[in-house]
Structure 1
């Protein structure tokens, strides 16, 4: 079937494919830089992730520095349709002779000016994250909730520095920057004090968010559990949801891997939109727990996108990707995961939502079920092919040959 035929088929259901294509192309997706180097960063003198985060695999060709990571990122985005942002962690500070290495509590905008220049050159937005892991000042698995005043002060200073950097980034790009705080804090076994760590975290956040930063959108990222903190997570969903509700301008970021396997992020999005004007979102693919697998075109990813579209929230849900897989080609991982999200988003934009809502509101549930099932077998692939053609990227698997060429000619030559 051709695009024109698919367009007519969708029109029969009341769906405007041209409007869907335009909306998909205009929705920015924040692509995480840390897939390219296994969350190692440039500031860790010991090398490697740890103290709260873990990447598995040892596929050759990992980016080792700023120039290699930029090149790999560009190679990936050439094969991905749609509008892009760069999601940066503070550990990706660029140290030079003019701006040498400093510890995380002393970083400044100058260490990220090269990233801003890169973003300006290629028309990317930027989002930012304090890096509160993989550092000696993660003591006993604790950071902002630590009873050790020295530890807590170090991480408060780091987070304040990051907000100031994000503010300068936003000013330079004439944009708003999502600055997201995630901490690994918690306990492996049943704690004797559940309240104390959360009161310390609350006080730390109050200090971190005290300074007005008009170019910054602040978020805190909740978590259910992880390896090493199976019994208690300080920054739980209830804690951060309550904090965000009491602190205008701070939002609870939903990560698709940070909830119980029986919970669905797609259902949480419309719930939050009743009360918040923005919902920051990290899209990943958990396998039994927060394992951050490469995003695929799965049922839940499609449902997440459907809720974003159904709620009229394309401008309210701030989408960032968050996966890291070192067992496969890292550039290919970026391409597979981001294209999967773009496919899910375009598919969501092609649903006959108005008719489905009408059928639900009038109690015509049998017809609603029929139409939902019919929508699943509509000629989506022809609209996807047209989207990719307009965006100047391959629609089919032919993109992989370019990644293979890049691995052979560039990545395989890295030590």
Structure 2
């Protein structure tokens, strides 16, 4: 049978439970994932040569990582050729591109340092999201926006202000809203003597950054929490409670990173509560294994639960960024697997009879609700997925990995 024939059979089977596969595909095509550039080079960036700091670690030594902007862009191109749909790219400030021997410290970054990224995105019809980089820098060793050293704190405030200007530039160039996300690694390894003062300084720093004029129609600001980090196991200044309240009071978004909570927490369960108080939310989709390990996203229960909450609450209310970095496997494969898997999870959600589920729940018919939920798991979603891939001109599920390995053989392996 052809892909189309298999799809037509799947379409008929889904219709029997009241699901319109054409509508599901149409809705999926509207969702943009923000592809994180840092998977391609193990979060190194182009503005410093030192080690990763701030509790961030990449593990593994698979060869052929990108070491130049040109290599990174080529790898992004390759990955996007394997992922159905039209998406965005997500940059950290540390990926500034300097030319002719120029260099600028993080508090002096300008839009011109991201001109090549803007051109890259415009040529491909992509949007760009942006992140200040508050780690892997000599001035980040003893805190950033919460630092007790006032000179250090002011340096990082200037960095945040510079990033707002850069984000507005990227939005103007691409014609798409730029989501600018603020995350800092500030915290303490052992029990703090004072929990309040660092948070007071963080609040003051954020207030000063956001007092910088910027076009709110072009830049959507988010703040991101974390439960703990390596070297900050006992105390994280930017906790979930801090940022959730700060975001609500200051009319910015609270970003939920699926790796930034305790392993037993159901992150998907948080979305519907928060959306009662926020117009929009931002997400970083990762896969924590024991801790915030940023494993590649797979098509598992956590991904499906998260995707179902996104769809049920309105996918247009979310900025969805991917955030993982595995240095133990081929990086094109890591990117592609993670993005395709989360798109599969979103398609799985679109193929649910949501109205029927609600009707059964309201009628307290939990017997049929459970039975229908389990029945759906046996329907041929893979045939709908392959049809979606074919419609978008990308490789089918059983074919893309071979293409990825050909790229490693013909391109990656030629790198120094």
> 2:168 is matched with which residue?
167
Measure how far apart 1:396 and its partner are. 2.1
After superposition, give the CA deviation of every residue in 1:318-339 in whole Å (9 maximum; x if it has no partner). 1000000111000110001100
Structure 2 equivalent of residue 271 of structure 1: 273
Q: Quote the residue 2:25 is aligned against.
A: 21
The structure 2 residue matched to 1:49, chosen from 44, 48, 52, is: 52
Q: In the alignment, is residue 241 of structure 1 matched against residue 264 of structure 2?
A: no
**Post-superposition offset of 1:45:** 3.3
Q: CA deviation at 1:264?
A: 1.3
Gaps of 5+ in 2: none
Pair 1:38-2:42 in alignment = yes
Q: 1:304 aligns with which of 303, 306, 310?
A: 306
Q: Structure 1 CA distance, aligned partners of 2:365 and 2:194?
A: 52
TM value normalised by structure 2: 0.97
1:86 pairs with 2:51: no
Partners of 1:188 and 1:232 within 8 A in 2? yes
> Are the equivalent residues in 1 in contact too, given 2:146–2:186 (CA < 8 A)?
yes
Deviations 1:97-137 (A, max 9, x none): 2x821111100000001101000001111000001000000
Match of 1:326 in 2: 327
Match for 2:219 among 205, 216, 220? 216
> Any residues of structure 2 matched to 1:147-226 within 5 Å, and which?
147-214=148-215, 215-226=218-229
The DSSP-based 3-state class of the residue aligned with 2:379 is coil
Residues 217-259 of structure 1, C-alpha deviations (whole Å, 9 max, x = no match): 00110000111111000000000001011101x1110000000
Residue 180 of structure 1 aligns to a residue whose secondary structure is: strand
Cα distance in 2 for partners of 1:301, 1:45 equals 34
Structure 2: how far apart are the matches of 1:169 and 1:70?
17
Structure 1 residue 12: Cα displacement: 1.1
1:292 match: secondary structure:
strand
Q: Does structure 1 conserve the Cα–Cα contact (< 8 Å) formed by 2:122 and 2:173?
A: no
CA contact (8 A) 2:333 2:401 kept: yes
**Alpha-carbon contact 1:42-1:65 (below 8 Å) kept:** yes
Whole-Å separation in 1 of the counterparts to 2:212 and 2:155: 17
- How far apart are residue 375 of structure 1 and its match? 1.0
User: Which residues of 2 match residues 92-107 of structure 1 at below 5 A?
Assistant: 92-97=95-100, 100-107=102-109
Runs (4+) of structure 1 exceeding 6 A deviation are none
| Worse-superposed segment, 167-176 or 100-109 | 167-176
**Structure 2 SS opposite 1:137:** helix
- Three-state SS of the structure 1 residue aligned to 2:76 is helix
The whole-number CA distance in structure 1 between the counterparts of 2:338 and 2:28 is 16
Query: Which stretch shifts more, 349-358 or 210-219?
Result: 210-219
Distance 2:308 2:111 in 1: 37
- 1:61 to 2:64 alignment: yes
For the residue of structure 2 that corresponds to 1:178, the secondary structure is strand
Residues 55 and 325 of structure 1 are in contact (CA less than 8 Å); yes or no, is this contact kept in structure 2?
Answer: yes
The unaligned stretches of length 5 or more in structure 1 are none
- Say which SS state the counterpart of residue 139 (structure 2) adopts: coil
Structure 2 SS opposite 1:315: helix
CA contact (8 A) 1:38 1:49 kept: no
Cα distance between partner residues in 2 of 1:195 and 1:188: 16
Residue 229 of structure 1 aligns with which residue? 232
